[in-house]
Structure 1
Amino acid sequence: MNLSTLTIPAVRVFRRRLPLTLCILTLTVSSAPGQALEVVGKQLEIYGTLHPSLDYLDSDVSQTLADADPDDKLSAGDTSLSFNSSKLGVRGEISTDISGLSAVYQLEQNVNPDGKSNDTLNTRNSFAGLRTAQWTVLAGRHDSLFKSLALRHSLLKHSVADRGAILGAGAIHGNQMDIRAENMILGRYYLPLSDSRLELQAQYSPDAVKSSGRVDNNKREMFALAAEWKSAQRIFAFAWDHWANLSIGGTPGEVNAVRALWKETAGQLTTAVIVESIDHTLNNGDAGEMDRNAIAVQARYAVAGFRYLGQIMAADDYADVSDSGAVMVSLGIEKPLSASTRIYAMYTQTDNERNAAYQGVDGTHGDELATQNGGTPKAFSIGSIINF
């Protein structure tokens, strides 16, 4: 820029802006691979995940039925580009004048680069709160504890083999329990042990599906409890959600959901078992479609720079409806490219009994794949995951 050609007012503007520009450029910016970008130390961090995949999806239905589906969840064999639980967020921790006490916040958005321009961003876990070395209290929007347990520890999450196709899903309306509690308060208490740690959590919302600007309707309250014991090689976890009036398939009812997890790492092998039992009672007293048990068994083995993954999941009959269960089998391979980037290939297939229509792809994967009663949906996917 030739300052001699600028008018005197322009030079003054340039000189006023220069210190601000230099200040912005000299902010502390640092990060390790796969970790959040520190913009202003721990007070402001930028983090996120981009997870595109190219999927081949087949609902095990005719082309005529697939073409007639208004939701485009039925497929007679289509290729689909999907962004899966991709996110962008800011978070921070700010010291207070009280020793050991910090204020914390997080604003997180789901990112859909492949969607419509008016559907690119929507709110994920976002909150503000207080934290010490021993406890945390948050207020805002957050995954239920039932959801969090599986999401934190599942080995095949966000892919076409996401556990949400069976765990937390129903035989008619797909996954219904991968949900966040609106308008909630979440407390965590940390108890260090000699060679492990115990984390206790409690969550409450006076109106878990509230719209902003309205008085909380306590008939829609939810509360949850969770506990997690963690050592260097082993994790045991438990979670329980109670939803007083949760609408599933447009029909409200009470839901009590229990989930337990065992996860262990021995050398290059990691295994996980997740079991759940859901009690679903409609407001008219009948049992609902979520009234069933389910299990997931997962394994990951690392060798020669690759990770091999396998999973078997099963759901039993719901609400005493015979032949309404399903079994899902998945196989995959991952190749880490760095601490924050990996590529993968995944195949999955779900075998529904004659009165069940568990989706072939559901949960936290972007594009869903539905089927009809008794269908055997299948999917093959290649994808990449970038964390920052």
Structure 2
Amino acid sequence: MEVRPLAAEDIDRFLKIGNNAFPSMKANTPEEMKKLRERFDARNADPRITCWGAYHGETLVGGLRLFDYVLNIRGAKLPCTGGGFLVVDLAHKKEHVARDLVRFWLNQARERNIPTAVLWPFRPDFYRKMGFGIGGTINQYQVEPANLPSHGHRERVRLLGKEDRPAILDCYNRYVDHTTGMIEETALGLDIMLDASVSWRCAGYEEGGQLRGYLIFDFEPADPPTLVHNNLKVQRLVYETPDALAGLMAFLHAQADQVARVIIPATDEHFHFLLNDVRDGTHNEILMYHQCYTGGVGIMYRVLNLKEVFCAPMSFRDGMPACTIRVKLEDGFLPHHDTSVVVRIADGKAELLDNAKPDVEIGMTVDNFSSLLVGAVSFRALYDYSLAKISKPEMVATVSRLFATDRQPACETRF
């Protein structure tokens, strides 16, 4: 099998393979397939995207789409490669096409000195075997508008239009600057995202002439569905300040006359503290705990070059004594690269050292380290679950504090 750039004459076959891999796209008629091709071409206008095909001779048997991104990890901006729309012909399953496509992708990225990779998995277990670590969780709340706080400055919220997209982009990228796990966006990428759905609305919070937060939302029928019985579904929520969040929540609170419930997907694991009544209306109980959301995992991260990652100006826990750590990783999928470094963490920053004697040594698989690095899991948890080793167990708390982040990672980029 050979992986090479997807030929223009093979795009329709690529999309047919994709439609079989993801039947929910419902491109089952010539007209539906035409619309799918139009969406594909529009998305690929983004210069960050390339498409690759897996060929047996001249026959396309699978493919994937790759993205050149910039990723925030602990405040440092790192080159990142994203992988998406990985599809395999139904007639060529169990021939390791997907595995070989992923290996081609990651080896190509390493050759280009890209130290990190991200993807949205169709099966997390499949990609964990390839070294991808689970990112942050998302919790979906179904809240009656009256249970959202109303004290914010609702008068500073207005509906945004196409002319506001530069301000939306600036607000988003400032949010990226302060949020680990987030991916920078471009003007074209934002346009493609917002133009993808004609039903989306956008409300923004302004302060001092600057957009400081926004939410993208649409409506869906409530249960039972009637003309006036709807839910408001938040698709994106971005805010830079507590005042911006409070203003946007007050805007949602004010929709009680026409909205049964507000559906909010939150990557903030403490979001339930914001609500007057945290229950989600199901009245389900779990060992005397009230169900207040449904949760899931999605985005996955992978370290491709351990040394390059630690050369980036990432932030670690400050205010602690300096500690020199040897980090040793197991990488069974890409075994031929450096998986051991010695790093000194002091004053919240990491420094690579050569031939230094470490104070402690830690070891784990690359998928679990990737999750640790972005702040999706603590070292204490990995150690308790026997997913990480340490040469001095009495230093578990120290290492865990050094790698701790204020919040879990978030990602708003769908690809």
Task: Note whether the superposition's TM-score is higher than 0.5.
Answer: no
Q: Greater share of strand residues, 1 or 2?
A: 1
Q: Greater share of helix residues, 1 or 2?
A: 2
The TM-score, its normalising length taken from structure 1, stands at 0.25
Higher relative contact order (CA closer than 8 Å, sequence separation 6+) = 2
